[in-house]
Amino acid sequence: MGASIRRRLMLLVLASIALVWAIALASSYRQASREVAQWEEARLAELAQMLALLDQSNLATLANAHIDVREEERGGATSANDSDDDDSLPRDALFQVRARNGEVIAGSPPLRALNAWDLPVPRVTGTQDVMLNGEMYHSFTLRDTALGHTVRVFEQANTRSDLVSGVASRIARPALIALPVLALLVWSSIGWSLAPLRILSGAIRSRGINRLEPVDIGHVPTEVRPLVDAINLLLSRLLHSLERERAFTADAAHELKTPLAAIKVQAQVALAEPDAARQRLAMERVVQGVDRSARLAEQLLLLARLDMHEKMSTAPLAPGEAARNAWIANERNAQQKNLHVTLNCDMRAAIDAEPVLIGILFDNLLDNAIKYGCEGGSIEIAVRTVKDPTRDAVQERVVVSVRDDGPGVAPADLARLANRFFRATGNQATGSGLGLSIVARIAEHFGGRVHFGRGIDGRGLAVEVSFPAYTAVPDERLQPVA
Amino acid sequence: MRVLLVEDDDLIGCGIEAGLRQAGFTVDWARDGHKAGLALDTTSYELLLLDLGLPRVSGMDLLKRLRDAGKDMPVLVLTARGTVADRVGGLEAGADDYLGKPFDLSELIARCRALLRRAQGRSVEVIRYRDLTVNPSAQSVEVSGTRVSLTAREWAILLQLITNQGIPQSRARLEESLYGWQEEIESNAIEVHVSNLRKKLGAKLIRTVRNIGYVVEKE
Please indicate whether, in this complex, the C-beta atoms of A282 and B18 are within 8 angstroms of each other: yes
Residue where a domain stops, chosen among B69, B100, B119: B119
Helical (H) or strand (E) element with A295 = helix A276-308
Ranking A76-90, A449-463, B69-83 by mean pLDDT, the lowest is A76-90
Residue where a domain stops, chosen among A270, A290, A308: A308
Task: Output B110-116 pairs: Cβ under 8 A, ≥24 positions apart.
Answer: B110/B137, B111/B76, B112/B3, B112/B20, B112/B23, B112/B25, B112/B47, B112/B49, B112/B76, B113/B137, B115/B47, B115/B74, B115/B76, B116/B1, B116/B46, B116/B47, B116/B74, B116/B163
Interface test mutation site (partner A, options B5, B9, B78, max chain A beta carbons within 10 A): B9
For range A33-38, the mean pLDDT: 82
For range A135-164, the mean pLDDT: 77
Q: Which of the listed ranges A70-84, A89-103, A263-277 does the model predict with the highest average pLDDT?
A: A263-277
Same domain, B100 and B142: no
How many helices (H) and strands (E) would you count in chain B?
8, 12
pLDDT at residue B18, rounded to an integer: 92
CATH number of the domain encompassing residue A300 = 1.10.287
For range A40-62, the mean pLDDT: 82
pLDDT tens-place values along chain B, 219 residues long: 889 999 988 889 999 999 998 888 889 999 888 889 999 988 889 999 998 877 777 888 889 889 998 888 999 998 877 778 878 888 888 899 998 888 999 999 999 999 998 888 887 888 888 888 998 888 889 998 899 998 888 888 998 899 888 889 998 888 888 877 777 777 778 889 999 999 998 888 899 998 888 999 887
For range A106-129, the mean pLDDT: 78
Q: Which residues of B touch A427 (CB under 8 A)?
A: 55
Distance of CA A160 to the CA centre of its chain: 56
Interface test mutation site (partner B, options A269, A280, A288, max chain B beta carbons within 10 A): A269
Q: Which residues of B touch A288 (CB under 8 A)?
A: 11
Using alpha carbons only, how large is chain B's radius of gyration in Å?
18
Q: A316 φ, ψ to 5°?
A: -65, 135
Flag whether residue B9 sits within 8 Å of chain A, measured between CB atoms: yes
Domain count for chain A: 3
The answer to whether the beta carbons of residues A423 and A255 sit under 8 Å apart is no
Helical (H) or strand (E) element with B147 = strand B146-148
For range A325-339, the mean pLDDT: 87
- Give tens-digit pLDDT for B69-103: 888 899 999 887 777 887 888 888 889 999 888 89
Predicted complex ipTM = 0.78
> Domain span at residue A267?
210-308
Flag whether residue A227 sits within 8 Å of chain B, measured between CB atoms: no
CATH number of the domain encompassing residue A39 = 3.30.450
Same domain, B113 and B148: no
pLDDT at residue B218, rounded to an integer: 85
Of A260, A269, A285, the CB nearest to B102: A260
> Is the link from the previous residue into B102 a cis peptide, with omega within 30 of 0?
yes
pLDDT at residue A150, rounded to an integer: 84
Residue A388 has pLDDT above 90, yes or no: no
CATH number of the domain encompassing residue B99 = 3.40.50.2300
Q: Which residues contact A341 (CB under 8 A, 6 or more apart)?
A: A327, A330, A331, A334, A366, A378, A379, A380, A381
A481 belongs to a structural domain: no
Q: Which residues of A touch B19 (CB under 8 A)?
A: 265, 268-269, 272
Sign for the CA dihedral angle at A304, A307, A313, A316 comes to positive
Percent of chain A at pLDDT > 70 equals 87
Q: Which residues of B touch A261 (CB under 8 A)?
A: 9, 12, 80, 101-103
| Number of other residues whose CB lies within 10 A of the CB of residue A173 | 10
> Domain span at residue B211?
127-215
For range A24-33, the mean pLDDT: 83
Q: Which residues of B touch A272 (CB under 8 A)?
A: 19, 22, 105
Residue A175 has pLDDT above 70, yes or no: yes
Residue A346 has pLDDT above 80, yes or no: yes
Ranking A35-49, A217-231, A400-414, A419-433 by mean pLDDT, the lowest is A419-433
Flag whether residue A426 sits within 8 Å of chain B, measured between CB atoms: yes
Please indicate whether, in this complex, the C-beta atoms of B16 and A265 are within 8 angstroms of each other: yes
Same domain, A265 and A373: no
When the pLDDT of each residue in chain A is averaged and rounded to a whole number, the result is 80
* Residue A183, burial from CB neighbour count under 10 angstroms (0-12, 13-18, 19+): middle
- Please give the single-letter amino acid code of residue A33: S
Q: Which residues contact A362 (CB under 8 A, 6 or more apart)?
A: A319, A322, A323, A325, A326, A381, A400, A402
Q: Which residues of A touch B104 (CB under 8 A)?
A: 264, 268
Tell me the residues of chain B between 76 and 135 that have a Cβ less than 8 Å away from chain A. Answer: 80-81, 101-106
Q: Which residues contact A203 (CB under 8 A, 6 or more apart)?
A: A215, A217
Q: Beta A150-156 vs A340-345: how paired, if at all?
A: unpaired
Same domain, B145 and B92: no
Alpha-carbon span A130 to A143, nearest angstrom: 18
Ranking A138-147, A342-351, B161-170 by mean pLDDT, the lowest is A138-147
Instruction: Give the Cα-Cα-Cα angle B126, B130, B134 (nearest 5 degrees).
Output: 25
pLDDT at residue A286, rounded to an integer: 93
Q: Which residues contact B29 (CB under 8 A, 6 or more apart)?
A: B4, B5, B6, B7, B13, B14, B16, B17
Per DSSP, the three-state class of A271 is helix
Residue where a domain stops, chosen among B75, B91, B119: B119
Flag whether residue A266 sits within 8 Å of chain B, measured between CB atoms: yes
Same domain, B67 and B108: yes
Closest-CA residue of A relative to B34 is A426
Closest-CA residue of B relative to A253 is B80
Q: How far from A331 is each of A282, A324, A366, A402, A450, CA to CA, in Å?
A: 28, 10, 10, 15, 24
Closest-CA residue of A relative to B9 is A430
Q: Which residues of B touch A282 (CB under 8 A)?
A: 15, 18
Residue where a domain stops, chosen among B119, B151, B172: B119
pLDDT at residue A282, rounded to an integer: 92
Same domain, A246 and A370: no
pLDDT at residue B15, rounded to an integer: 93
pLDDT at residue B189, rounded to an integer: 82
Residue of B137, B136, B156, B140 whose CA lies nearest to B148: B140
Alpha-carbon span A242 to A237, nearest angstrom: 8
Query: What does B51-97 look like in DSSP terms, one character per residue?
Result: ESS-SSS-HHHHHHHHHHTT----EEEEES---HHHHHHHHHTT-SE
- What single-letter DSSP state applies at residue A121? P
The answer to whether the beta carbons of residues A167 and A183 sit under 8 Å apart is no
Comparison of pLDDT for A391 and A464, the residue scoring more: A464
pLDDT at residue A461, rounded to an integer: 87
Q: B51 φ, ψ to 5°?
A: -90, 135
Ranking A101-105, A317-321, A478-482, B6-10 by mean pLDDT, the lowest is A478-482
* β-pair partners for A130: A137
Please indicate whether, in this complex, the C-beta atoms of B102 and A273 are within 8 angstroms of each other: no
Same domain, A161 and A262: no
Q: Beta B47-51 vs B2-6: how paired, if at all?
A: parallel
* The total number of residues written for chain B in this structure: 219
B42 Cα to chain A: minimum distance (Å): 22
Which of the four pLDDT bands, split at 50, 70 and 90, describes residue A334? confident
Using alpha carbons only, how large is chain A's radius of gyration in Å?
52
Which of the four pLDDT bands, split at 50, 70 and 90, describes residue A6? confident
Of A257, A265, A428, the CB nearest to B31: A428
Query: What does A358-377 look like in DSSP terms, one character per residue?
Result: HHHHHHHHHHHHHHHSPTT-
A413 belongs to a structural domain: yes
Residue of A360, A366, A431, A440 whose CA lies nearest to A401: A366
Residue A476 has pLDDT above 50, yes or no: no
**Which residue spans within A71-209 are E strands per DSSP?**
93-98, 104-107, 126-132, 135-143, 150-156
The answer to whether the beta carbons of residues A359 and A399 sit under 8 Å apart is no
Same domain, A266 and A373: no
B57 Cα to chain A: minimum distance (Å): 9
Alpha-carbon span A5 to B114, nearest angstrom: 75
Same domain, A281 and A333: no
CATH number of the domain encompassing residue A396 = 3.30.565.10
Same domain, A284 and A353: no
CATH number of the domain encompassing residue B145 = 1.10.10.10
Which of the four pLDDT bands, split at 50, 70 and 90, describes residue A79? very low
Comparison of pLDDT for A269 and A38, the residue scoring more: A269
Comparison of pLDDT for A477 and A407, the residue scoring more: A407
pLDDT at residue A427, rounded to an integer: 56
Of B18, B55, B81, the CB nearest to A427: B55
Ranking A48-57, A112-121, A375-384, A454-463 by mean pLDDT, the lowest is A112-121
Q: Which of the listed ranges A243-252, A415-424, A453-462, B200-209 does the model predict with the highest average pLDDT?
A: B200-209
Size of interface A-B (CB pairs under 8 A): 76
Please indicate, yes or no, whether the overall pTM of this predicted structure exceeds 0.80: no
pLDDT at residue A425, rounded to an integer: 56
A227 Cα to chain B: minimum distance (Å): 40
For range A230-240, the mean pLDDT: 89
Per DSSP, the three-state class of A283 is helix
Alpha-carbon span A220 to B215, nearest angstrom: 84
Percent of chain A at pLDDT > 90 equals 9
Domain count for chain B: 2
For range A457-473, the mean pLDDT: 83
Please indicate whether, in this complex, the C-beta atoms of B55 and A425 are within 8 angstroms of each other: yes
Q: A39 φ, ψ to 5°?
A: -65, -45
pLDDT at residue B179, rounded to an integer: 79
Alpha-carbon span B63 to B70, nearest angstrom: 11
pLDDT at residue A426, rounded to an integer: 54
